[in-house]
Structure 1
Amino acid sequence: MQQYEPWENDELRFGRVSRFLDSLNQCRELGVKVTCANADGLELELPYSEHIVGDTDTGVIHGGAITTLMDTASGGSVLCCLPELELCPTLDLRVDYMRPAQPGKTVFARARCYRVTGTIVFTRCEAFQRGPDTTVANCVATFMRIGRDASPDWFWEKIEGRK
C-alpha cells in the first residue's frame, strides 16, 4: 500500500497556488484547498460534502469532482515547476479511476511535472484517501505554455499577492 509522506512546503509557491485556486469558482464551490506546494509539485484536498455526492444511495463522490480536483492539481503543479509564472491551459487529461472514494472521507491529489518543453508541460497526478492510504484515481495531463503575456497584469498581481 502506498504511503504518502508529508512534503516540505515552500511558502512562496503555496501562496501563489492558494491565490490561483481562490480565483477559480469551481475550487471555491468544492472547497478545494492547497495542503502543500513546492518546486516538486503540490498536494490539494477535496473535503467530503453532501453536495459533491454522485450516488445518494452510497454517498460516493461524483467522478466530476475527482476529475476537477486532479485537473486543478495538475495545473497547479505547473505553477510550481516553471521558473516564472505563466498561464498554461489544459490540452489533454486522462483519468483512470481505480475505485470509488470512500464516503465521508477527504480526497487528496498530489501532482508533479515530469517533463517541461518550450511549448508543453507534462504532469502526473494521483488522487487518494488517507488512513489507510488508498489510491482513488491516477491522471496524466498536458498543458500548453502560452506565456505570461496571455493574461492581464491584474491577474498576475493577484496570484503574486501584490494586490
Structure 2
Amino acid sequence: MSQQAAFDPKTATPFLTSRGHPGWLGMRYSDHGDDWVELELPWREDLLGEEGQHVLASGPILSLMDMASGLAIWKAMDRFEAIATLDLRVDYVRPARDGAAVFGRSQCYRITRSAAFVRGLAHDSDADDPVAHIQAVFMKIGGDPKRELPGG
C-alpha cells in the first residue's frame, strides 16, 4: 500500500488558483500552519466594488475566503479530498483600504466523517483590524464515510 504525500498548500495553491475563477481573480499563496491557510487577493481596478471607490468588491473577497477555507480543510486532513461548500457566512466589518490587497486566512477547527467546519477573517495587512469575518461548513464528498477522523 502506497503512502499518500502530505498536503502542502504552498505547492498546491499555484495549481489550484491558476485556472477558472480563482485564476482570473489572481489569488496567491501567502502562508499556512497545521490547520489554517492564508491567501492574497491583489488589488485590481477591475475588481472594484463601487464607482469612485478604490476598494475591492465583496464578491472577490467571498471567493478568496471560500478558496482559503478549502485549502485549510485539506491541510487539516493532510490530504486532498472532494469537498463542497454548504454554508459560508461573511460578515463585512469595513471596506478594504483604497488600493490594498486583501488577505484571507481560514482555519479548519473541526472535522467529522461528513463535514468540516471553518472560521476565518479577511484583512488588508492588519489581522487585528479585519475587513470581514467568516464562518463556514463544507461537506466531504470523497473518502470512506465510515472512517472517522481523530477528534470527529
- Report if TM-score (shorter chain) is over 0.5: yes
Q: Describe the SS at the equivalent of 2:79.
A: coil
Partner of 1:34: 29
What are structure 2's unaligned runs of at least 5 residues?
A: 1-5, 145-152
What are structure 1's unaligned runs of at least 5 residues?
A: 1-9, 150-163
Pick closer, same or farther for the CA change 1:131–1:141 going to 2, 3 Å.
closer
Q: Is the 8 A contact 1:13 1:38 kept in 2?
A: no
Counterpart Cα distance in 1 of 2:72 and 2:127: 25
Partner of 2:137: 142
Partner of 1:154: none
Pick closer, same or farther for the CA change 1:12–1:83 going to 2, 3 Å.
closer
Q: Is the 8 A contact 1:34 1:43 kept in 2?
A: yes
Which stretch shifts more, 126-135 or 46-55?
126-135
For residues 12-33 of structure 1, what are the alpha-carbon distances to aligned partners after superposition, in whole Å with 9 as ceiling and x for unaligned? 331123322224x111111110
Partner of 1:161: none
Number of aligned residue pairs: give it. Answer: 139
Q: Is the 8 A contact 2:7 2:74 kept in 1?
A: no
- 1:62 counterpart = 2:72: no
Give RMSD over aligned pairs.
2.1
1:21 to 10, 17, 20: 17
Pick closer, same or farther for the CA change 1:38–1:14 going to 2, 3 Å.
farther
1:46 to 41, 47, 55: 41
Q: Is the 8 A contact 2:81 2:141 kept in 1?
A: yes
What TM-score do the two structures reach when normalised by structure 2?
Answer: 0.83
What TM-score do the two structures reach when normalised by structure 1?
Answer: 0.78
Deviation for aligned residue 1:132: 8.5
% identity of equivalent residues: 37
